[in-house]
Structure 1
Amino acid sequence: MSETTINEQEERQFYLTEEEHHPEGSTLLGFWLYLMSDCLIFAVLFATHGVLGRSYAAGPSPADLFDLPLVAINTAMLLFSSITYGFAMLEMEKNRKGATLAWLAITGLFGLAFLAIELYEFYHLIHEGAGPMRSAFLSSFFTLVGTHGLHVTFGIIWLVTLMVQVSMHGLIEENRRRLMCLSMFWHFLDVIWIGVFSFVYLMGVLG
């Protein structure tokens, strides 16, 4: 075999290796860019609530509306879901498909519990006449919390989709990369919700 042929084979192997690693790097980079854009969206919503958060229009204030123990339970649901997702990622690293799916399912149940409590809160507020049109404060509140809830809803749909893909194809490299992206997204939602709980609920009631 000539030296030219050997060099061509080595060059081809190099490009194949680069092509194998490029999708993962580009996917993670693209997803980080998406999360940064989402940060900007929530930053605008937080800033809006900061400006409008005391514009009650002679209506109810946060102290009149918010049930902090219920919100604390809701917060626990989302935090627990983040912990169970972490367990799912640990099982993925051990290549345990069944255990990974089980922890993902538990994560989804915690996420559904979070959404159920949030929808109950929205229903209760609207039933009490504190809907988003009642005041600027309530408009900003429903927009901020509702946007976060939509993200959680999307995350659960994504989670179920990945569970189906893992069930069908196993923990292949593509599914591992998708689970990693969803992990970043899910923990991002936890961080945002801690901000909502502290800035909107706690400061609103105790401030």
Structure 2
Amino acid sequence: MSTALATHTHASTHVAHDHDHDDGSKTVLGFWLYLMSDCLIFSCLFATFAVLAGNVADAPTGKELFDLPYVAGETVLLLVSSFTFGLAMLNMHAGRRGRVIAWLGVTFLVGAGFIGMEVHEFANLIGENAGPGRSAFLSAYFTLVGTHGLHVTAGLVWLAVMMHQTATFGLDGIVRRRLACLSLFWHFLDLIWICVFTFVYLRGVL
């Protein structure tokens, strides 16, 4: 009976997979609309930071707080993760399922390293009494950088899901489409981080 139940569950999973997103054009269009809405959110956060960046009150400024070499290390990690994701996509087009999973795994580890460094940075700032409630500048900083970090965390969860789906279903049309959407999302986050690094950190230490 347990074997029959497992077979039924596996078959149900495949049916759900086969019936999900039956129209690829709708999926891609919907995802582009999502990315545009996300771009608007980050635009508002950047604009808010620009307005509040000079409102430090008696709190320390970015020049006093930011460790540029450390943040440059974070930037390198995220750029490397974009490169490894590109290798995963190249192997997807070549039909190499094992290598796709491997490169997605490397991307996950590098991305997790980025998040670990960011959490460490936030913890150090809060430990130095430079938390988001200390000044308008710090509030805007934590909101902008933290929102990006939450997006990367969501991307890591998505990566784990896609590694599982690639291993389970192979590189069928649905998995390929989902990987393409995830690739757009991941590279979008890299682009946003470059803007964060330039506009928040570099500008903050000058």
- TM-score by shorter chain over 0.5: yes
Residue 24 of structure 1, CA deviation: 1.0
Structure 2: how far apart are the matches of 1:129 and 1:188?
32
Q: Between 36-45 and 21-30, report the one with greater CA deviation.
A: 21-30
Q: Residue 4 of structure 1 aligns with which residue? A: none
RMSD of aligned residue pairs (Cα, Å): 1.0
Aligned length: 186
Q: After the TM superposition, which residues 125-144 of structure 1 pair with which residues of structure 2 at under 5 Å, given as runs?
A: 125-144=125-144
The one-letter amino acid paired with 1:34 is Y
Question: C-alpha separation between the residues in 2 aligned to 1:40 and 1:71?
Answer: 25
Q: Write the letter of the residue equivalent to 2:94.
A: K
Q: So what's the TM-score if we normalise by structure 1?
A: 0.89
Which runs of 4 or more aligned residues in structure 1 lie more than 3 Å from their structure 2 counterparts after TM superposition?
none
User: 2:84 matched to which residue of 1?
Assistant: 84
1:40 aligns with 2:40: yes
2:44 corresponds to which letter in structure 1?
A: V
Gaps of 5+ in 1: 1-20
Larger C-alpha radius of gyration, 1 or 2?
1
- Equivalent AA in structure 2 for residue 41 of structure 1: I
Correspondence for 1:198 = 198
Mapped to 2, the partners of 1:72 and 1:145 lie a distance apart of: 14
The corresponding residue for 2:186 is: 186
Letter in 1 for 2:129: G
Matched position secondary structure for 1:35: helix
Supply the distance in 1 between the matched residues of 2:165 and 2:28 (Cα, whole angstroms).
Answer: 19
**Identical positions, percent:** 59
Offset at 1:58?
A: 1.5
CA distance in 2, matches of 1:136, 1:74: 24
Q: Distance in 2 between matches of 1:57 and 1:172?
A: 56
Question: Residues 42-121 of structure 1: matches in 2 within 5 Å?
Answer: 42-121=42-121
State the Cα distance separating 1:77 from its structure 2 match.
0.4
1:66-99 CA-to-partner distances (Å, cap 9, x unmatched) read 0000000000000000000000000000000000
- Structure 2: which 5+ runs fail to align? 1-20
